[in-house]
Amino acid sequence: MNNRLKVLRAMNDWSQAELAAQLDVSRQAVNAIETGKHDPSLPLAFRIARLFNMPIEEIFDDGHE
């Protein structure tokens, strides 16, 4: 699944570790999501969406229209 997490993080001038601390996950988890190695669970996806104040589908894209 594609996502804009890296771009959104850069727009907020946060490091992976800073974002991870806000999401209550490890930096490795943020890196894995950004690189597409790990698809977040729904609860984590909602936490990410709330943090950036955006709908989930504007952050994550499953490739379907």
Contacts with other proteins, residue ranges (CB under 8 A): 10, 13-18, 20-29, 31-33, 38, 40-41, 44
- If the CB atoms of residues 52 and 65 are measured against other proteins, the closer one turns out to be 52
Minimum gap (Å) between residue 60 Cβ and other proteins: 15
Q: What is each CA distance from 42 to 2, 15, 23, 46, 59, in whole angstroms?
A: 15, 23, 13, 6, 13
28 residue type, one letter:
Q
* Rounded distance between C-alpha atoms, residue 28 and residue 26, angstroms: 5
Minimum gap (Å) between residue 37 Cβ and other proteins: 8
Minimum gap (Å) between residue 2 Cβ and other proteins: 17
